[in-house]
Structure 1
Amino acid sequence: MRKNLTADLGRRLWQAGNEATADDSTAVDAAAADQLDDLEMAYAVESATRELAIAAGGRVIGYKVGLTAQPVRDTFGADEPAAGHLLADRLLGDGEPLATAGLFAPMAEVEIAFILGEALPGPQVTAEDVRNATAAVAPAFEIVDSRWRGGARTLPMLVADNTNAARALLGSPVAPPASADLVKITATLSIGSRTVPGSATAVMGDPAEAVAWLAQHLLRGGRRLEAGDIVLSGTLCAPTAISAGDRLVADLGELGRIALDVI
């Protein structure tokens, strides 16, 4: 019974994220979340959505880490961050605009993407291991969106829905800065006349710590971070609502700038 419920919820969430238009009629009714007993089941649902994507020709290119700020974890009653996967067809190309037609209530996050040059297989992965295994970092936008009608209200709802992963855009990769310099990175997200400040220290004090947590989390489930994986390590700025007509510009200092038009 539990396996059937997991498969059904995974199918419904995956379908909601692949509709040409997004509205109340295509979102998953929050009442369906009553079936989510715990985080183990929630991650099983997220895994089901991943397998459906792969079966449809999708390719997993990495992962994302959510709930990396303590205040957000407190909101969801979470003891640790949450993880989701990244799909190749959800990664925007350079200069490609973000189409909002298939999104419900998109929000922009400014992140530091880690591009791994080596696998991270050990059970006690540290931030230093992450820095040593990282080939490059890049400024990134993650566009988050919930397929639940009205958004995720609980931690299992968030996790089951692939931790709200929707779209992403990577800027130009650069050599990883020294650890002391990475945590000093600040960010400014500009959307027209609006500005949203951010800091790398908002990401578990050090974005490399978020990647280390992810490595350990994946190992508990029998997977690992591999060479070539892209990891969105967590948002430096507060998630910010966006809409068609917006132009997003994020400045991450020595890591560079990134821009995205919303249509």
Structure 2
Amino acid sequence: MDASSTQSVAQALLHARRHRSPVDAAALAGSLREPQDAYEVQRLVREALAPGELPAFWKSGGPSRSAVLTHAPLFAASTWPSPADARNSHFNSRLIEAEVALRLGSDVTAAQAARLTPGDAAALVDAMAVAIEIVDSRWTEGVDAPPLLKLADLQSHGALVVGEWRRFAARDWAMQSCVVRIAASSAEYRGTHPLGDPTWLLPAWLKHATRGGAVVRAGTSVTTGTWCGMLPANRGDRVSVTFDGIGAACVEL
């Protein structure tokens, strides 16, 4: 890991956040060589903006089970209960993802995380909720920025809106439906989670979150990936997401 390169990327992202203006990723495209470099940038940015804050919310996921999953700790300031009003919040862009968030019912240590499999990890979850992720980027290139720079930028996270929690129970995720409404448009999706089951990512996320011997505390939550791809939205739009049998969330943009 090149400390000067990770510092340069972190400073660029901090500049973009503080000045509310995206920065060019092209000049930094070769700065990060591996995911660990991007995760170090995440740490540096978090240390600068929220020193000492333990992440109560994470995002995790990937396009398929064969892909390397990615993870990012989210800021408390950008995690909002539904209904949310984001009309006075700054975004460089607004893309909408409909997701299911999962909440841990007990602490998880590094030793426990190391033993987890997708088959037994769901037993750690006590609650689930509908979530709306507002995808945004601090890079001028947006979601077309180089993958490691997107990962360094919290995997293009803008904000997360979370609906009411309900008790977690096993579901037929292949039949799970959700409806996404953005302004006057509406679309339904069924069985479209890229991993088939949102709980499948729990072992990979918890192994990442407990690196260095950290303990992930009970009540920590993770949002688990989009069911609808990334849908464009505009300032002033009302966005609502409903998952049949789980709940709903909404936000005014």
Give TM-score scaled by structure 1 length: 0.84
Name the counterpart of 1:145: 136
Amino acid in structure 1 at the alignment position of 2:165: P
Specify which of 171, 176, 181 is matched with residue 190 of structure 1.
181
1:82 aligns with 2:77: no
Could you give the per-residue CA deviations for residues 136-191 of structure 1, whole angstroms, max 9, x where no partner exists?
1000111111111112432211211111122011101111122x434532211111
Deviates more, 1:108-117 or 1:119-128: 119-128
Instruction: After TM superposition, give the deviation of residue 4 of structure 1 in Å.
Output: 2.2
Alpha-carbon distance in structure 1 between the residues aligned to 2:23 and 2:149: 13
Q: State, as a whole percentage, how many aligned pairs show the same letter.
A: 24
Distance 1:124 1:7, change over 3 A: same
Of structures 1 and 2, the one scoring higher in RCO (CA 8 A, sep 6+) is: 2
Could you give the per-residue CA deviations for residues 48-99 of structure 1, whole angstroms, max 9, x where no partner exists?
11222222x75521210132x23xx9xxxx9312111111111124333123
Instruction: After TM superposition, give the deviation of residue 201 of structure 1 in Å.
Output: 4.8
Alpha-carbon distance in structure 2 between the residues aligned to 1:92 and 1:53: 18
Name the counterpart of 2:79: 91
Instruction: After TM superposition, give the deviation of residue 192 of structure 1 in Å.
Output: 2.6
Unaligned runs of 5+ in 1: none
Instruction: After TM superposition, give the deviation of residue 104 of structure 1 in Å.
Output: 1.1
1:60 aligns with 2:48: no
Specify which of 209, 213, 216 is matched with residue 204 of structure 2.
213
TM alignment of 1:114-129, pairs within 5 A: 114-121=102-109, 122=112, 123-129=114-120
1:7 aligns with 2:7: yes
Alpha-carbon distance in structure 2 between the residues aligned to 1:226 and 1:92: 20
8 Å Cα contact 1:13-1:49 kept in structure 2? yes
Alpha-carbon distance in structure 2 between the residues aligned to 1:120 and 1:59: 14
Aligned residue for 2:91, secondary structure, equals coil
Could you give the per-residue CA deviations for residues 11-50 of structure 1, whole angstroms, max 9, x where no partner exists?
221331343x44xxx4244312221222221221122112
8 Å Cα contact 1:196-1:238 kept in structure 2? no
Name the counterpart of 2:46: 50
Aligned residue for 1:214, secondary structure, equals helix
Aligned residue for 2:56, secondary structure, equals strand
Give TM-score scaled by structure 2 length: 0.88
1:159 aligns with 2:166: no
8 Å Cα contact 1:251-1:257 kept in structure 2? yes
1:109 aligns with 2:97: yes
Distance 1:221 1:200, change over 3 A: farther
Distance 1:128 1:119, change over 3 A: farther
How many matched pairs?
Answer: 249
Unaligned runs of 5+ in 2: none
